[in-house]
Chains A and B, each alone.
Chain A
Amino acid sequence: MFDHILSILIFFPALAALFGVVVDKDSIRAYGLSVAVVEFALSLMLWFGFDASVSGMQFMEQVSLIPAFGVNYIVGVDGISLFIIVLAAFFTMIGIASLTDTKNVKNMIITLLMLQMTMAGVFAALDAILFYVFWELSLVPMLYIIGAWGGPLRVYASIKFFLYTFTGSLVMLVGMLFMAYFYFQATGVWSFAILDWYRLILPQSYQLWLFAAFFMGFAIKVPMFPFHTWLPYAHGQAPTIGSVMLAAILLKMGTYAFIRFSLPLFPDASVFFMFPVAIIAVIMIIYTAMVAYAQEDVKQVVAYSSVSHMGVIVLGTFAMNVEGISGSIFLMIAHGVVSGALFLLVGVIYDRRHTKMMDQFGGLASVMPRYATIFGLMLMASVGLPLTINFVGEFLSLLGFYEQSHIITLLAGIAIIVGAIYMLSAYKKMFFGEVTREENKNLPDVNKRELLALIPLAIITVWLGIYPKPVLEPINNSVEAVVQLMHDKAITPEAKSAIPSVIKKDETSTQEAH
């Protein structure tokens, strides 16, 4: 069972989606939910079967696809990818569970299951082409979700989303082909296996170009300033479930890819580009937070806040030390949970009022106290309150980058201020004040189905905020391996010094112990 659990995780939902075509449309919801529950249970099994003390890849599977060209089906997880896979399965589950009554619910559920396949695939893939396959394929269900169930501008938004990401990834694909070619030149064998690539040490000039090529793909996906403008449209137009998936999982692909590809493959280039990237990250943090503050639509606030938070994640990633990278991975999960929850919450009010404009609300706290409470919790998590899940990630990310640059971290730290500004003012507009509009006076509070999705998220938010160890420990071990790899691979002295060696510190500490 454990030998093929990853393949099962990837292809089970896809198969289930195909079978789902036959299922009657009145029963499809139950069908989808049971598939998603099974999938989530499988992902939990993966977690429990995972040996946290091992830093390398686990549950590896390998099947040749195109050996002549070095393309293989290789999957495996380490601490970096494990939790995002679990999170993806989790969100698919609660996404389907809390799905509101929409038209064509059957198509929606089939699409969601397909999406789940691609998400599991991206994070499990250990072959660049396989990774690319899932990476691109994930665009398709999302395109459909936004385009078919979205708001008035849905077609524009979905095409923009698709083409923008597609363009970036094609540039990345060229980069991958170059990488494979360099590997071929060095070894005489074609290979797209990431673990093979890790062993390849490239001259710095090559690294710089390849880094840039990969960066295009990742940066648009993240999305990093100035490539972020597809995101507000996508979120603004997408149905709730689409936004949730997009924010919680799909955006993480970009930052995950930075850690999986850019850092270990191009350590020198990563150090070279550290400051430019960090400056972009700071712009993302402050600029988009300000843009978020100016929004009139609460969903856009959350959308822009995602960009802002992704800035912190990118910053943590480029801290190049264990603290920062672990923090950024943790923040990916945290942001997934919190932004997912926030989008669900926005969906709750949208279902009731069919508007997302904040000036349409006001005083909701007295009408919908439970809703206000959960929203408040998620809001506090979003602004990085300690003992909520976000804080751990944000703290570690910023802490990590502080070693590289004080000033940039200081600027990035403004996140905690500007984040509070837009979030609190949005909350104030929606929940505080008198209930002025007649239609708001009798809004029903969150119902059971919505609670079913929100309560688990709230629990995770607090649980991992207080006790992040079960997640942080496996992440830490894998990240240590990555950082060590980067340190060993680095060829320029700047990179050597910027990337700390994990082992060396351990040695000195053991020496001290003696």
Chain B
Amino acid sequence: MLAPVNVSMESLNLMTLAPMLIPIVGALLILVIDLFKSNLDKSLYVMLSILFLLMDFGVLFESAGLFAEGGTIMGVFDVMLIDGLAIIAQFIIVGTSMLFIPLALTNTRFHEFSYPEFFALFLFMISGFQFMVSTDNLILVFVGLETASLALYTLIAMHNRAKSFEAAVKYFTMGALAAGFYSFGSMIFYALTGSVEINQIAAVLEANQYADIGYVLIAVTFMLASFGFKLSLVPFHTWAPDVYEGASAAMAGYMSIVPKIAAFIVVMRLFEFLIHSGVVWLEVILYIFVILTMTISNIWALVQTDVKRMLAYSSISHAGFVMSAVMIGTTQANSALLLYWVLFAFTNLGSFSMLWISRAKNTDNAAESDHSYNKFAGLIKTSPVMASFMGLFMLSLAGIPPFALFWGKLYLISSAVTSGYTVLALIMALNSAIAGYYYLKLIVYMFMKDPVVGKDGHVYTVNSTLSLQVIVGFAAIGTIFAVAFINPLLEFITAFAYNSGY
């Protein structure tokens, strides 16, 4: 006879669900509106999405306030876990989404934005990521991950070009494999500990002193493979360049930031307790991953001829760079990771938006790809403002001070230094130097060569609208004056990460 279910609303703490529910409600609303009146302009959906995301953002502030006062909040049968990491990650996810969604307001009409489903899926995806980061239950992580991923595959495919489909299929197939890895890994953890809650897994493993270390490692291996895919660590990165190339620039930029931060949060939750309990193997493996990912993707980025593809490799490299924080595992490193990602978001938002602005509806048959380097040749002469902005973002990506990403690099390398990873710090530094080459290559094309296409410069701004310009301007300001907001940001992040035990 089953005991009556007796759960108080109080202990459910439904408030914890609010941030995820808001985008879901928004998505549903958009679908409902479409039911009543179709063929509405995309600007409506964009603004609606922004409104809901703003609300989401506001609720996050509320959660942040609660966390600051009372520490970690659990809810919904202790499945939800609202700690500092979750809050910061959601801030990044929602904030970045807010900045990316206006990119839909292009001058040229693109197929996908005429469907309201696009925006609904977008909002679903956001809530999926939010679930992913605000739980330590492997089931919910899986659900969040897949919700988001499936939405993302569709969004990519909606770009409706041959390459987009190819990209979506590739991404999807590999994602399915990764999902298999993930579930297998979770299964082993479950088999070992009888739990799918990360903190309980940790507690059990701690209690039996890692007696089954071999099996733990196998589980970790599967998890690594799965998240390695999500984070595009070498050799699980192969999808990234193709998907970035196939997806629209706006979507590619989005992908370089949001899915990865969600994955980073899960990885931090999952791996850091292992590292702290002295699983040397994991540390070594992560070390190898970090170095391989940074270096190999850098080397491949050197030889790219397409800017978007180059940026894809560069994103892989940045992910590898940041992955080192997970390996180091100190509060400083984790804060550095989050700080880096915020700054990276600004810079990548800017650079991908620039590509998006210059994206013509139909690729010129003569050009080998949408964003070949040649397209940008002599940009300073035809469109100096564009060139200056693009140059700025490239410099930031290369880590030239005082632009945004430099500070992230600085803090991250410092965390390596502080934890005694001298060689790692040097490798990180040298990789930045290698990376400098391909960013410079674009600058060289823009500033030092003569134009080859569209002497009037119009081709570079076909998509330009006020909202896109605002976004780029916003990204530029964030990139240039990063130093002004780094201190509060750093203090905030450090406090939250520290209070969550990371």
Within 8 A of B (CB), among A163-193: 163, 166-167, 170-171, 173-174, 177-178, 180-181, 184
Task: Verify if B208 is at the interface (C-beta below 8 Å from A).
Answer: no
Bound Cα distance A171, B433 (Å) = 10
Task: Verify if B279 is at the interface (C-beta below 8 Å from A).
Answer: no
Task: Verify if A159 is at the interface (C-beta below 8 Å from B).
Answer: yes
Q: Tell me if A69 and B411 are in contact (CB < 8 A).
A: yes
Q: Tell me if A163 and B483 are in contact (CB < 8 A).
A: no
Bound Cα distance A181, B415 (Å) = 9
Task: Verify if B215 is at the interface (C-beta below 8 Å from A).
Answer: no
Q: Tell me if A66 and B429 are in contact (CB < 8 A).
A: no
Partner of A65, one of B426, B433, B483: B483
Partner of B400, one of A64, A67, A140, A154: A140
Q: Which residues of A contact B414 (CB under 8 A)?
A: 69, 177, 180-181
Q: Tell me if B429 and A154 are in contact (CB < 8 A).
A: no
Task: State the 3 A-B residue pairs at the shortest beta-carbon distance, nearest first.
Answer: A170-B429, A167-B433, A133-B401
Task: Verify if A107 is at the interface (C-beta below 8 Å from B).
Answer: yes
Q: Tell me if B447 and A148 are in contact (CB < 8 A).
A: yes
Task: Verify if B39 is at the interface (C-beta below 8 Å from A).
Answer: no
Q: Tell me if A147 and B447 are in contact (CB < 8 A).
A: yes
Q: Tell me if B400 and A173 are in contact (CB < 8 A).
A: no
Q: How many A-B residue pairs have CB under 8 A?
A: 97
Q: Tell me if B433 and A166 are in contact (CB < 8 A).
A: yes
Q: Tell me if B395 and A66 are in contact (CB < 8 A).
A: no
Q: Tell me if A147 and B448 are in contact (CB < 8 A).
A: yes
- Bits for B411-441, please: 1 = Cβ < 8 Å to A, else 0: 1011001100010011001101100110011
Q: Which residues of A contact B407 (CB under 8 A)?
A: 66
Q: Tell me if A174 and B440 are in contact (CB < 8 A).
A: no
The stretch of B43-51, B164-172, B484-492 in contact with A is: B484-492
The tally of residues in A whose CB lies under 8 Å from a CB in B reads 36
Q: Tell me if A177 and B425 are in contact (CB < 8 A).
A: yes
Q: Tell me if B410 and A155 are in contact (CB < 8 A).
A: no
Partner of A159, one of B380, B432, B444, B491: B444
Given contacts A66-B486, A170-B432, A174-B425, contact A155 B444 (CB under 8 A): yes
Q: Tell me if B440 and A159 are in contact (CB < 8 A).
A: yes
Bound Cα distance A158, B411 (Å) = 29
Q: Tell me if B444 and A147 are in contact (CB < 8 A).
A: yes
Task: Verify if A378 is at the interface (C-beta below 8 Å from B).
Answer: no
CB distance from B340 to the nearest CB of A (A): 13
Q: Tell me if B448 and A178 are in contact (CB < 8 A).
A: no
Q: Tell me if B413 and A173 are in contact (CB < 8 A).
A: yes
Q: Tell me if A67 and B380 are in contact (CB < 8 A).
A: no
Q: Tell me if B447 and A68 are in contact (CB < 8 A).
A: no
Partner of A137, one of B400, B432, B440: B400
Q: Tell me if A174 and B401 are in contact (CB < 8 A).
A: no
Bound Cα distance A32, B109 (Å) = 44
Bound Cα distance A159, B440 (Å) = 7
Bound Cα distance A158, B491 (Å) = 39
Within 8 A of A (CB), among B457-485: 483
Given contacts A65-B483, A66-B483, A66-B486, contact A137 B444 (CB under 8 A): no
Q: Which residues of B contact A181 (CB under 8 A)?
A: 414, 417-418
Q: Tell me if A68 and B494 are in contact (CB < 8 A).
A: yes
Q: Which residues of B contact A143 (CB under 8 A)?
A: 440, 443
CB distance from A14 to the nearest CB of B (A): 11
Task: Verify if A129 is at the interface (C-beta below 8 Å from B).
Answer: yes
Partner of B380, one of A65, A107, A163, A184: A107
Residue of B nearest to A185 (CB): B418
Q: Tell me if B402 and A171 are in contact (CB < 8 A).
A: no
Extra contacts besides A107-B384, A177-B414, A180-B414 (17): CB < 8 Å = A68-B487, A68-B490, A68-B494, A129-B401, A129-B410, A136-B400, A147-B447, A155-B444, A162-B440, A163-B433, A163-B436, A167-B436, A173-B410, A173-B429, A174-B429, A178-B417, A178-B422
Bound Cα distance A66, B425 (Å) = 21
Bound Cα distance A170, B416 (Å) = 14
Q: Tell me if B402 and A133 are in contact (CB < 8 A).
A: yes
Bound Cα distance A154, B449 (Å) = 10
Q: List 28 A-B contacts (CB under 8 A).
A: A66-B407, A66-B487, A68-B487, A68-B494, A69-B414, A69-B487, A69-B490, A104-B381, A107-B380, A133-B401, A137-B400, A139-B400, A143-B443, A144-B448, A147-B444, A148-B448, A155-B444, A158-B448, A170-B430, A170-B432, A170-B433, A171-B426, A173-B429, A174-B417, A174-B422, A177-B414, A178-B422, A184-B418
Interface residues of A (CB under 8 A from B): 64-69, 104, 107, 129, 132-133, 136-137, 139-140, 143-144, 147-148, 154-155, 158-159, 162-163, 166-167, 170-171, 173-174, 177-178, 180-181, 184
Q: Which residues of A contact B406 (CB under 8 A)?
A: 133, 136
CB distance from A219 to the nearest CB of B (A): 15
Bound Cα distance A180, B414 (Å) = 9
Residue of A nearest to B398 (CB): A166
Q: Which residues of B contact A68 (CB under 8 A)?
A: 487, 490-491, 494
CB distance from A418 to the nearest CB of B (A): 34
Given contacts A107-B380, A159-B444, contact A177 B413 (CB under 8 A): yes
Q: Which of B432, B433, B487 has the most CB of A within 10 A?
A: B433
Partner of A177, one of B417, B440, B494: B417
Residue of A nearest to B381 (CB): A104
Bound Cα distance A328, B56 (Å) = 61
CB distance from A55 to the nearest CB of B (A): 30
CB distance from B285 to the nearest CB of A (A): 24
Q: Which residues of B contact A136 (CB under 8 A)?
A: 400-401, 406
Given contacts A107-B380, A133-B401, A143-B440, contact A155 B448 (CB under 8 A): yes
Q: Which of A148, A163, A171, A174 has the most CB of B within 10 A?
A: A174
Q: Which residues of B contact A64 (CB under 8 A)?
A: 487
Q: Which residues of B contact A66 (CB under 8 A)?
A: 407, 483, 486-487, 490
CB distance from B339 to the nearest CB of A (A): 10
Q: Which residues of A contact B491 (CB under 8 A)?
A: 68
Q: Which of A144, A148, A173, A178 has the most CB of B within 10 A?
A: A173
Q: Which residues of A contact B401 (CB under 8 A)?
A: 129, 132-133, 136-137
CB distance from B220 to the nearest CB of A (A): 30
Q: Tell me if A158 and B444 are in contact (CB < 8 A).
A: yes
Residue of B nearest to A184 (CB): B418
Q: Which residues of A contact B483 (CB under 8 A)?
A: 65-66
CB distance from A307 to the nearest CB of B (A): 22
Q: Which residues of B contact A170 (CB under 8 A)?
A: 429-430, 432-433
Residue of A nearest to B400 (CB): A136
Within 8 A of A (CB), among B9-45: none
Bound Cα distance A159, B449 (Å) = 14
CB distance from B487 to the nearest CB of A (A): 5
Q: Which residues of A contact B400 (CB under 8 A)?
A: 136-137, 139-140
CB distance from A429 to the nearest CB of B (A): 32
Bound Cα distance A484, B430 (Å) = 36
Bound Cα distance A1, B490 (Å) = 34
Bound Cα distance A465, B128 (Å) = 74
Bound Cα distance A158, B494 (Å) = 40
Q: Which residues of B contact A67 (CB under 8 A)?
A: 487
Q: Which residues of B contact A107 (CB under 8 A)?
A: 380, 384
Given contacts A136-B401, A147-B448, A154-B448, contact A162 B490 (CB under 8 A): no
Bound Cα distance A173, B410 (Å) = 8
Bound Cα distance A155, B425 (Å) = 30
CB distance from A344 to the nearest CB of B (A): 24
Residue of A nearest to B485 (CB): A66
CB distance from A107 to the nearest CB of B (A): 7
Bound Cα distance A67, B487 (Å) = 7
Q: Which residues of A contact B441 (CB under 8 A)?
A: 159
CB distance from B411 to the nearest CB of A (A): 7
Q: Which of B410, B447, B494 has the most CB of A within 10 A?
A: B410
Q: Which residues of B contact A129 (CB under 8 A)?
A: 401, 410
Residue of B nearest to A180 (CB): B414
Q: Which residues of A contact B430 (CB under 8 A)?
A: 167, 170-171
Residue of A nearest to B448 (CB): A147
CB distance from A160 to the nearest CB of B (A): 10
CB distance from B391 to the nearest CB of A (A): 8
